[in-house]
A and B are shown apart, each in its own frame.
Chain A
Protein backbone atom coordinates (compact mmCIF):
# COMPACT_ATOMS: atom_id res chain seq x y z
CA UNK A 1 0.00 0.00 0.00
CA UNK A 2 0.97 3.64 -0.26
CA UNK A 3 3.24 5.06 2.38
CA UNK A 4 3.45 8.57 3.75
CA UNK A 5 3.83 11.15 1.02
CA UNK A 6 5.11 14.69 1.27
CA UNK A 7 5.20 17.61 -1.11
CA UNK A 8 7.07 19.42 -2.35
CA UNK A 9 10.21 17.29 -2.07
CA UNK A 10 12.40 20.36 -2.41
CA UNK A 11 11.62 23.99 -1.69
CA UNK A 12 13.83 27.02 -2.10
CA UNK A 13 12.56 30.19 -0.50
CA UNK A 14 13.91 33.68 -0.18
CA UNK A 15 14.28 34.94 3.35
CA UNK A 16 11.00 36.43 4.48
CA UNK A 17 8.77 34.32 2.25
CA UNK A 18 6.04 32.08 3.61
CA UNK A 19 6.11 28.36 2.78
CA UNK A 20 3.61 25.52 3.15
CA UNK A 21 4.66 21.88 3.38
CA UNK A 22 2.13 19.10 2.87
CA UNK A 23 1.95 15.63 4.40
CA UNK A 24 -0.40 12.84 3.35
CA UNK A 25 -0.26 10.05 5.96
CA UNK A 26 -0.89 6.37 5.50
CA UNK A 27 -4.64 5.87 5.06
CA UNK A 28 -6.36 5.22 8.38
CA UNK A 29 -3.45 6.33 10.53
CA UNK A 30 -4.70 8.27 13.52
CA UNK A 31 -1.48 9.94 14.58
CA UNK A 32 0.66 12.33 12.60
CA UNK A 33 3.99 13.83 13.62
CA UNK A 34 6.23 16.52 12.17
CA UNK A 35 9.98 16.45 12.76
CA UNK A 36 12.82 18.72 11.68
CA UNK A 37 16.19 17.25 10.77
CA UNK A 38 19.34 19.31 10.47
CA UNK A 39 22.35 17.95 8.62
CA UNK A 40 24.19 15.34 10.65
CA UNK A 41 21.59 15.25 13.41
CA UNK A 42 18.70 13.03 14.31
CA UNK A 43 15.14 14.25 13.69
CA UNK A 44 13.74 16.64 16.29
CA UNK A 45 10.07 16.66 17.21
CA UNK A 46 7.97 19.64 16.17
CA UNK A 47 4.29 18.77 16.68
CA UNK A 48 1.80 15.91 17.00
CA UNK A 49 -1.80 15.40 15.89
CA UNK A 50 -4.24 12.75 16.97
CA UNK A 51 -6.91 12.88 14.25
CA UNK A 52 -7.59 16.62 13.83
CA UNK A 53 -6.53 17.59 17.35
CA UNK A 54 -3.09 19.08 17.80
CA UNK A 55 -2.12 17.55 21.14
CA UNK A 56 1.49 18.68 21.35
CA UNK A 57 3.19 21.62 19.69
CA UNK A 58 5.98 21.98 22.18
CA UNK A 59 8.69 21.48 19.56
CA UNK A 60 7.69 24.31 17.25
CA UNK A 61 10.68 26.68 17.40
CA UNK A 62 8.77 29.95 17.14
CA UNK A 63 5.37 31.43 16.47
CA UNK A 64 6.30 31.59 12.80
CA UNK A 65 5.64 27.87 12.64
CA UNK A 66 2.06 26.68 12.40
CA UNK A 67 0.59 23.26 11.64
CA UNK A 68 -2.90 22.04 10.97
CA UNK A 69 -4.77 18.84 10.14
CA UNK A 70 -8.33 20.07 9.73
CA UNK A 71 -10.02 16.83 8.64
CA UNK A 72 -7.78 14.40 10.47
CA UNK A 73 -5.96 13.28 7.35
CA UNK A 74 -3.69 15.60 5.34
CA UNK A 75 -1.56 17.99 7.35
CA UNK A 76 0.16 21.22 6.43
CA UNK A 77 3.15 22.77 8.15
CA UNK A 78 3.39 26.47 7.45
CA UNK A 79 6.41 28.64 8.11
CA UNK A 80 5.94 32.37 7.94
CA UNK A 81 8.69 34.89 7.20
CA UNK A 82 11.28 32.17 6.66
CA UNK A 83 14.78 32.65 8.06
CA UNK A 84 18.04 30.98 7.05
CA UNK A 85 18.03 28.93 10.24
CA UNK A 86 14.79 27.30 9.06
CA UNK A 87 16.77 25.46 6.35
CA UNK A 88 16.42 21.76 7.13
CA UNK A 89 14.61 18.62 6.09
CA UNK A 90 11.05 18.49 7.38
CA UNK A 91 9.83 14.97 7.98
CA UNK A 92 6.31 13.79 8.50
CA UNK A 93 5.50 10.46 10.17
CA UNK A 94 2.26 8.65 10.87
CA UNK A 95 1.24 5.80 13.13
CA UNK A 96 -1.85 3.63 13.27
CA UNK A 97 -3.09 4.38 16.76
CA UNK A 98 -2.80 7.04 19.40
CA UNK A 99 0.72 8.31 19.79
CA UNK A 100 0.77 7.51 23.46
CA UNK A 101 0.31 3.81 22.80
CA UNK A 102 3.75 2.43 23.39
CA UNK A 103 3.44 -0.12 20.63
CA UNK A 104 2.82 2.39 17.92
CA UNK A 105 5.44 2.43 15.21
CA UNK A 106 5.96 5.60 13.26
CA UNK A 107 6.53 5.51 9.51
CA UNK A 108 8.23 8.40 7.80
CA UNK A 109 7.58 10.14 4.52
CA UNK A 110 10.42 11.12 2.16
CA UNK A 111 10.72 14.60 3.66
CA UNK A 112 10.80 18.12 2.25
CA UNK A 113 14.20 19.74 1.98
CA UNK A 114 13.78 23.46 2.62
CA UNK A 115 16.53 25.86 1.69
CA UNK A 116 16.15 29.50 2.68
CA UNK A 117 18.42 31.90 0.83
Chain B
Protein backbone atom coordinates (compact mmCIF):
# COMPACT_ATOMS: atom_id res chain seq x y z
CA UNK B 1 0.00 0.00 0.00
CA UNK B 2 1.34 3.43 -0.97
CA UNK B 3 1.74 5.93 1.84
CA UNK B 4 -0.39 8.51 0.02
CA UNK B 5 -2.86 7.57 -2.67
CA UNK B 6 -4.53 9.87 -5.17
CA UNK B 7 -6.34 9.12 -8.40
CA UNK B 8 -3.98 10.20 -11.13
CA UNK B 9 -6.80 11.35 -13.38
CA UNK B 10 -7.17 13.19 -15.55
CA UNK B 11 -10.29 14.49 -13.86
CA UNK B 12 -12.26 16.54 -16.33
CA UNK B 13 -14.97 18.97 -15.21
CA UNK B 14 -16.86 21.70 -17.07
CA UNK B 15 -16.25 25.32 -16.21
CA UNK B 16 -18.37 26.39 -13.25
CA UNK B 17 -18.72 22.89 -11.81
CA UNK B 18 -17.36 21.57 -8.51
CA UNK B 19 -14.14 19.58 -8.75
CA UNK B 20 -13.59 16.99 -6.02
CA UNK B 21 -10.08 15.71 -5.40
CA UNK B 22 -9.48 12.86 -2.97
CA UNK B 23 -6.51 11.55 -1.02
CA UNK B 24 -6.01 8.68 1.41
CA UNK B 25 -2.97 8.19 3.60
CA UNK B 26 -1.59 5.27 5.56
CA UNK B 27 0.16 6.87 8.57
CA UNK B 28 -2.45 7.29 11.32
CA UNK B 29 -0.09 9.58 13.19
CA UNK B 30 -0.19 12.31 10.53
CA UNK B 31 -1.58 15.51 12.00
CA UNK B 32 -1.13 18.14 9.31
CA UNK B 33 -2.18 18.03 5.69
CA UNK B 34 -1.31 20.22 2.76
CA UNK B 35 -2.66 20.65 -0.75
CA UNK B 36 -0.34 21.94 -3.43
CA UNK B 37 -1.20 23.01 -6.96
CA UNK B 38 1.38 22.39 -9.68
CA UNK B 39 1.04 23.82 -13.14
CA UNK B 40 2.85 22.01 -15.93
CA UNK B 41 6.54 22.87 -15.85
CA UNK B 42 6.25 24.81 -12.60
CA UNK B 43 6.95 24.02 -8.96
CA UNK B 44 4.30 23.14 -6.34
CA UNK B 45 2.37 26.06 -4.86
CA UNK B 46 0.74 25.72 -1.44
CA UNK B 47 -3.00 26.40 -1.63
CA UNK B 48 -4.48 24.86 1.52
CA UNK B 49 -3.41 23.47 4.85
CA UNK B 50 -5.67 21.67 7.32
CA UNK B 51 -4.88 20.43 10.79
CA UNK B 52 -8.12 19.28 12.43
CA UNK B 53 -11.09 17.18 11.44
CA UNK B 54 -13.83 18.91 9.51
CA UNK B 55 -13.91 21.49 6.78
CA UNK B 56 -11.73 24.49 6.10
CA UNK B 57 -12.80 27.02 3.51
CA UNK B 58 -10.67 29.57 1.68
CA UNK B 59 -12.36 31.34 -1.20
CA UNK B 60 -13.41 28.76 -3.79
CA UNK B 61 -11.41 26.03 -2.06
CA UNK B 62 -12.60 23.75 0.74
CA UNK B 63 -10.42 21.15 2.37
CA UNK B 64 -12.05 18.31 4.27
CA UNK B 65 -10.26 16.07 6.75
CA UNK B 66 -11.41 12.82 8.35
CA UNK B 67 -8.58 11.37 10.43
CA UNK B 68 -10.57 8.30 11.48
CA UNK B 69 -10.96 7.35 7.83
CA UNK B 70 -7.48 8.62 6.94
CA UNK B 71 -9.00 10.69 4.19
CA UNK B 72 -8.52 14.26 3.04
CA UNK B 73 -10.19 15.97 0.12
CA UNK B 74 -10.14 19.26 -1.75
CA UNK B 75 -13.23 20.78 -3.32
CA UNK B 76 -12.95 23.54 -5.88
CA UNK B 77 -16.19 25.42 -6.44
CA UNK B 78 -16.98 27.34 -9.64
CA UNK B 79 -14.03 25.69 -11.39
CA UNK B 80 -12.19 27.86 -13.89
CA UNK B 81 -9.90 26.86 -16.78
CA UNK B 82 -7.08 28.46 -14.79
CA UNK B 83 -7.59 25.75 -12.16
CA UNK B 84 -6.33 23.16 -14.64
CA UNK B 85 -3.24 21.73 -12.98
CA UNK B 86 -2.01 18.77 -10.97
CA UNK B 87 -3.07 18.79 -7.33
CA UNK B 88 -0.73 17.16 -4.82
CA UNK B 89 -1.79 15.91 -1.41
CA UNK B 90 0.93 15.91 1.26
CA UNK B 91 0.46 14.69 4.82
CA UNK B 92 3.08 15.61 7.37
CA UNK B 93 4.22 12.46 9.20
CA UNK B 94 4.50 12.46 13.00
CA UNK B 95 7.18 14.45 14.79
CA UNK B 96 9.74 11.68 14.82
CA UNK B 97 10.14 11.82 11.07
CA UNK B 98 11.67 15.27 10.89
CA UNK B 99 9.16 17.33 9.01
CA UNK B 100 9.48 15.92 5.53
CA UNK B 101 6.33 15.86 3.43
CA UNK B 102 5.17 12.65 1.80
CA UNK B 103 3.49 13.44 -1.51
CA UNK B 104 0.95 11.54 -3.50
CA UNK B 105 1.49 11.26 -7.23
CA UNK B 106 -1.06 13.99 -7.80
CA UNK B 107 -4.40 14.27 -9.56
CA UNK B 108 -4.48 16.04 -12.89
CA UNK B 109 -7.49 18.34 -13.18
CA UNK B 110 -8.75 19.67 -16.49
CA UNK B 111 -11.46 22.35 -16.49
CA UNK B 112 -13.12 22.65 -19.87
CA UNK B 113 -14.54 26.03 -20.98
* A residues lining the B interface (CB < 8 Å): 31, 33, 35, 40-45, 48, 55-56, 59, 89, 91, 95, 98-111
Partner of A44, one of B34, B92, B103: B103
* Total A-B pairs, Cβ < 8 A: 70
Assess the A48–B98 pair: CB atoms within 8 A: yes
**Which one of B100, B103, B104 has the highest number of Cβ atoms from chain A below 10 Å of its Cβ?**
B100
A contact residues around B4 at 8 Å (CB): 42
Contact with A along B42-60 (1 / 0, CB 8 A): 1111100101000000000
CB neighbours (8 Å) of A111 from chain B are 43
Nearest neighbor of B92 in chain A, beta-carbon distance:
A102
Give the interface residue-count category, chain B: 20 to 34
Q: Is the CB of B99 within 8 A of A104?
A: yes
Q: Are B98 and A100 in contact (CB-based, < 8 A)?
A: yes
- Contact A108–B99 (Cβ < 8 Å): no
A102 touches B51 (CB 8 A): yes
Q: What A residues does B99 contact at CB under 8 A?
A: 31, 33, 48, 56, 95, 98-101, 104
Residues of B within 8 A of A95 (CB): 99
If A42-B106, A48-B98, A59-B100 touch, whether A103 touches B44 (CB-CB below 8 Å) is no
Verify B43–A106 contact, CB threshold 8 A: no
* Nearest CB in chain A to that of B89: its residue: A42
Which chain A residue has the least Cβ–Cβ distance from B36?
Answer: A108
Would you call A40 and B105 a contact (CB within 8 A)? yes
Q: A56: which of B31, B45, B100 is its contact (CB, 8 Å)?
A: B100
B103 contacts which chain A residues (CB < 8 A)?
35, 42-44
26 CB-based A-B contacts, threshold 8 Å: A31-B99, A33-B100, A42-B105, A42-B106, A43-B44, A43-B101, A56-B99, A91-B43, A95-B99, A99-B98, A99-B99, A100-B98, A100-B99, A102-B31, A102-B32, A102-B51, A102-B92, A102-B95, A103-B32, A104-B99, A105-B46, A105-B49, A106-B34, A107-B46, A108-B44, A108-B46
B109 to chain A: which residues have CB within 8 Å? none
Most central of B46, B92, B105 by chain A CB within 10 Å: B92
